Structure 1
Amino acid sequence: MKVFVVEDDVWYSKLLVHTLSLNPDHEVTPFTDGKSLLDQLKQKPDLITLDFRLPDYSGTELFDKIKAFDPNIEIVIISEQQDIETAVSLLKRGAYDYLTKSEDIRDRLIHVMNQLGKNRELVQRVETLQEEVERKYDFQSSIIGQSKGVKRVFKLIEKAVSTNLTVMISGETGTGKEVVAKAIHYNSPLSKKPFVPVNMSAIPKDLVESELFGHEKGAFTGAMGQRIGKFEQAHGGTIFLDEIGEMDISLQAKLLRALQEKEITRVGGTQTVKVNSRVLVATHRNLQEEVKNGNFREDLYYRLFGLPIELPPLREREKDVLILAKHFAESFAKENKQANKSFTKEAQQKLLNYSYPGNIRELKAIVELAMVMADGSEIVPDDITFAQRDVVTDVLSEDLTMKEYQLKIIRLYLKQNDDNIKLVADKLDIGQSTIYRLLKEN
């Protein structure tokens, strides 16, 4: 840390310089007047201890000139007398601390330097983490693949980062919708601001409003204090509403108002709170169909539509499967401090022949399991285990009538989804009554 000591009392200057130099990481330079200090500010000190009474400048005047040159330079005022009013004024204007020339000045100065050092380390860590996040979500490296579908996504992301349009990201579960959302945020002018993700499908219906807009103390049973909602947390940054199609229609009007008016009212409150954040949404549903079926407000749909980005399923991404598999294997080896393993040609072909209903998320799990199962330096077909048989291969393995095929598909989906008829009806895009009828007839 580069430290300048400004003190016209020679003896006291030596005391301060000696105290500060006890730390070998401090480079300390003394000055006896304001002019000589100002002439050397170009050296960009990290800290200046400033005598409040100098022969050529008042402490306040010199303080203002230093801050005007560089507001990031920390200043500790050292004064012969304790003037509370002056101290408070300087602290409000940005002084780091105000010390009087007392018997314990050395201990107090060492304490201040220790605190300042910790603060600088924290700031540096935050800056480093921010840089790492930005590198991680450089979309050319975070979204892996060379297929036509992925290249089309790259082009749309480039358009998204240069505008403030709402972006609607659609695609099957596991295709990487949140990765795309983060890539848009961290490559946009808002990258230094908050990115706040909200998974709408993971929040109970009766808590959605409180989660999004916050609540006041006593708003409902269990509301022991004020809570800041996700929209306020994202102010100035980006809010990502994942699985927006799962939001109950009774709450959609309040979301629409928040988006249009850029203000919210906490549950149990009366005051409006201004919020201004970029909105990214994602869904695996066809929202146009949801609008037709009365499950999603048409006005909210058009408010959210903005720039659409549709992510292709993994089965349509050609040889991206092998590129991703190689990436996941390398990552797993690195994280677990193991030697990397390659895929034999037969193993590669097995990966290419599978349809991946769980998309990228499923491929990652398959590769990580194969890395564990493989005994040698290569992954062979027997090391690759699929969580479920390919639905099409399984169904078409027998000679059945169309009605029998329908029943077989329904039973297969019911088994895979714990007999949740509503979920199966949604996945197959048929009515629940159709499922009941087919099961009853057979």
Structure 2
Amino acid sequence: MEAKAFKIFVVEDDEWYRRLLVHNLSMNPDYEIKSFESGKECLNNLHQLPDVITLDYRLPDMKGIEVLKQIKNSNPEIQVILISEQDDIEVVVDLLKHGAYDYIVKSKDIRERLLNTVNNIRKEFKLKNEIHSLRQEVKKKYSYQNTIIGNSAATQKIFDLIEKATRTNVTVSISGETGTGKELVAKAIHYNSLRAKQPFVAVNMAAIPSELIESELFGHEKGAFTGAASRRIGKFEEAHSGTLFLDEIAELEISLQAKLLRALQEKEIVRIGSNRPVKIDCRIIIATNKNLLEEVKKGQFRQDLYYRFYGLPIDLPPLRQRGNDVILLAKNFVSEFCKENKLVQKILTPSASKKLLGYPFPGNVRELKSVIELAVTLADKKEIEAEHLLLDDTENIESLLNEELSLREYNLRLVKKLLEKYDNKPKIVAEKLDIGVATIYRMIKDE
């Protein structure tokens, strides 16, 4: 796609000087230059959306500051460079206050200063566009459908709660087993909320030594303790105007919970080694794989902090409760891994899909992703077979025993599992279980 020309208006009533400015700017072939003799002529052409306007301070029909004000009222994104013979500092300050990008004194040697100023504006434009594009990509990446893949009833409920969470700044508490995607949900909420353009700052309480948590959250002043060689702002200040995600919140020591509660109630923090409070404005999202209410009952979590955090609860279901979502996720992980590693796209065979559906995935989505990536690597051909899926069957049996089933149901599941393992050969299964082959046939028949 051809790059958009950088459009510049030159507004100057002195013909000789106007030609000089146009000539200097035209040295860059990427610049599209248009010139005007009066302020009104310039204002009547703002619909052409110039990027930069060089504006003579003294025009025959209007004062430069009036033209500047009207340009900024019409389109604040247009950058204006004032050019004048006078260098009164008060005039310069007044023009800068009203939105002028720069003020250049007229001279025959204006070329270098003018080109440098325009080049700086162009660099800033490019940076803004890149940031905007990056934000759009991030927002797209963390759209609901890209964050949680699935069409089960449990997944649709999560979509509904995420959408509700994006409408306000309500505190959100996300719970769920390890590997269910709590941080991804937190990012989906942030990047689809009114704070999307502000920072998303994540802190994993379990990953930081207890003696460093306070400094990590609230920051410290230089010399506050041994090793504090300089001031450091904490995560609360980093997340100002954005979202602070406190992961594994149940791991926060009880002694620090009071300080965290005060910061949330007062909306201010105090750096270690300082007495000056710092105002904070950040949305809080917490996550835990524990039952916080149970932690309160055990005396491990403050009740007042629990109620402060409760807000909008989002409980992420484990993968074993999401039905066919397992297959949708698996196919997505296959596609992503093949694309990232420049491999021919591979597919799951029916036997592989059946094996995935029969496994409880104690590690949830995180475990599924690892299993699929390894399976893609092991599969030499286009098809991913059941044998390429290396699952922990011991964990599978333990999970099965945790379910409340009748003895008949337990027996039937065990027989089915062994039949699958031994290629549907009842004789071998009968020998392993020390029962008759007829018993196995009868169990399958009566299912």
Band of TM-score, shorter chain: 0.7 to 0.9
Residue 390 of structure 1 pairs with residue 366 of structure 2: no
- 1:222-301 paired onto structure 2 within 5 Å: 222-301=227-306
- 1:82-97 paired onto structure 2 within 5 Å: 82-97=87-102
Corresponding residue SS for 2:281: coil
- CA–CA distance in structure 2, aligned partners of residues 4 and 25 of structure 1: 14
User: Normalising by the residue count of structure 1, what TM-score does the alignment of the two structures yield?
Assistant: 0.86
Residue 182 of structure 1 pairs with residue 182 of structure 2: no
Query: Which of 4, 11, 16 is the matching residue for 1:11?
Result: 16
Corresponding residue SS for 1:318: coil
Residue 25 of structure 1 pairs with residue 55 of structure 2: no
Specify the code of the residue in structure 1 equivalent to 2:311.
G
- CA–CA distance in structure 2, aligned partners of residues 109 and 182 of structure 1: 43
CA contact (8 A) 2:68 2:98 kept: no
- 1:354-373 paired onto structure 2 within 5 Å: 354-373=359-378
Give the superposition deviation at 1:60. 2.1
Query: Which of 331, 339, 363 is the matching residue for 1:334?
Result: 339
Instruction: Call closer, same or farther: CA 1:396–1:111 in 2, change over 3 Å.
Output: closer
Query: Which of 87, 94, 117 is the matching residue for 1:112?
Result: 117
Give the superposition deviation at 1:71. 1.6
Give the superposition deviation at 1:152. 1.3
Deviates more, 1:174-183 or 1:112-121: 112-121
Give the superposition deviation at 1:153. 1.0
Instruction: Call closer, same or farther: CA 1:396–1:211 in 2, change over 3 Å.
Output: closer
Give the superposition deviation at 1:87. 2.6
- CA–CA distance in structure 2, aligned partners of residues 395 and 165 of structure 1: 36
Query: Which of 303, 306, 314 is the matching residue for 2:319?
Result: 314
Specify the code of the residue in structure 2 equivalent to 1:389.
D
Aligned to 1:352: 357
Aligned to 2:423: none
- CA–CA distance in structure 2, aligned partners of residues 367 and 54 of structure 1: 70
Query: Which of 7, 29, 39 is the matching residue for 1:2?
Result: 7
Residues 378-426 of structure 1: CA deviation (Å, up to 9, x unaligned): 111222223x4332526999xxxxxxxxxxxxxxxxxxxxxxxxxxxxx
Aligned to 1:72: 77
Give the superposition deviation at 1:24. 2.4
Corresponding residue SS for 1:29: strand
Residues 214-239 of structure 1: CA deviation (Å, up to 9, x unaligned): 11111111112221111112122211
Specify the code of the residue in structure 1 equivalent to 2:182.
K
Give the superposition deviation at 1:344. 0.8
Corresponding residue SS for 1:276: coil
Specify the code of the residue in structure 1 equivalent to 2:173.
M
Give the superposition deviation at 1:17. 1.1
Corresponding residue SS for 1:78: strand
Specify the code of the residue in structure 2 equivalent to 1:308.
P
Specify the code of the residue in structure 1 equivalent to 2:200.
F
Aligned to 2:424: none
Residues 44-94 of structure 1: CA deviation (Å, up to 9, x unaligned): 211100111111222222222222222211011112233334333323432
CA contact (8 A) 1:347 1:379 kept: yes
CA contact (8 A) 2:360 2:399 kept: no
CA contact (8 A) 1:197 1:240 kept: yes
Specify the code of the residue in structure 2 equivalent to 1:222.
G
Residues 171-224 of structure 1: CA deviation (Å, up to 9, x unaligned): 000000011111111111221222111111111111111111111111111112
CA contact (8 A) 2:56 2:82 kept: yes
Corresponding residue SS for 2:260: helix
- CA–CA distance in structure 1, aligned partners of residues 208 and 202 of structure 2: 12
- CA–CA distance in structure 2, aligned partners of residues 233 and 132 of structure 1: 22
Aligned length: 396
Give the superposition deviation at 1:310. 0.4
- CA–CA distance in structure 2, aligned partners of residues 395 and 264 of structure 1: 45
CA contact (8 A) 2:360 2:396 kept: no
- CA–CA distance in structure 2, aligned partners of residues 98 and 334 of structure 1: 52
Specify the code of the residue in structure 2 equivalent to 1:373.
L
Residue 159 of structure 1 pairs with residue 164 of structure 2: yes
Specify the code of the residue in structure 1 equivalent to 2:393.
R
Aligned to 2:223: 218
User: Normalising by the residue count of structure 2, what TM-score does the alignment of the two structures yield?
Assistant: 0.85
Specify the code of the residue in structure 2 equivalent to 1:390.
T
Corresponding residue SS for 1:196: strand
- CA–CA distance in structure 2, aligned partners of residues 226 and 64 of structure 1: 41
CA contact (8 A) 1:355 1:390 kept: no
Give the superposition deviation at 1:297. 0.3
Give the superposition deviation at 1:282. 0.3
Residues 245-278 of structure 1: CA deviation (Å, up to 9, x unaligned): 1101100001111111111111111111111211
Give the superposition deviation at 1:142. 1.9
Give the superposition deviation at 1:141. 2.8
- Rg comparison, structure with higher value: 2
| Runs of 4+ more than 6 Å apart | 394-397
Give the superposition deviation at 1:280. 0.6
CA contact (8 A) 1:7 1:51 kept: yes
Corresponding residue SS for 1:390: helix
CA contact (8 A) 2:52 2:118 kept: no
CA contact (8 A) 2:8 2:53 kept: yes
Specify the code of the residue in structure 2 equivalent to 1:322.
I
Residues 99-141 of structure 1: CA deviation (Å, up to 9, x unaligned): 2222431122222222222111110000000011111111123
Give the superposition deviation at 1:351. 1.4
Deviates more, 1:114-123 or 1:302-311: 114-123
Residue 148 of structure 1 pairs with residue 145 of structure 2: no
Corresponding residue SS for 2:136: helix
Aligned to 2:86: 81
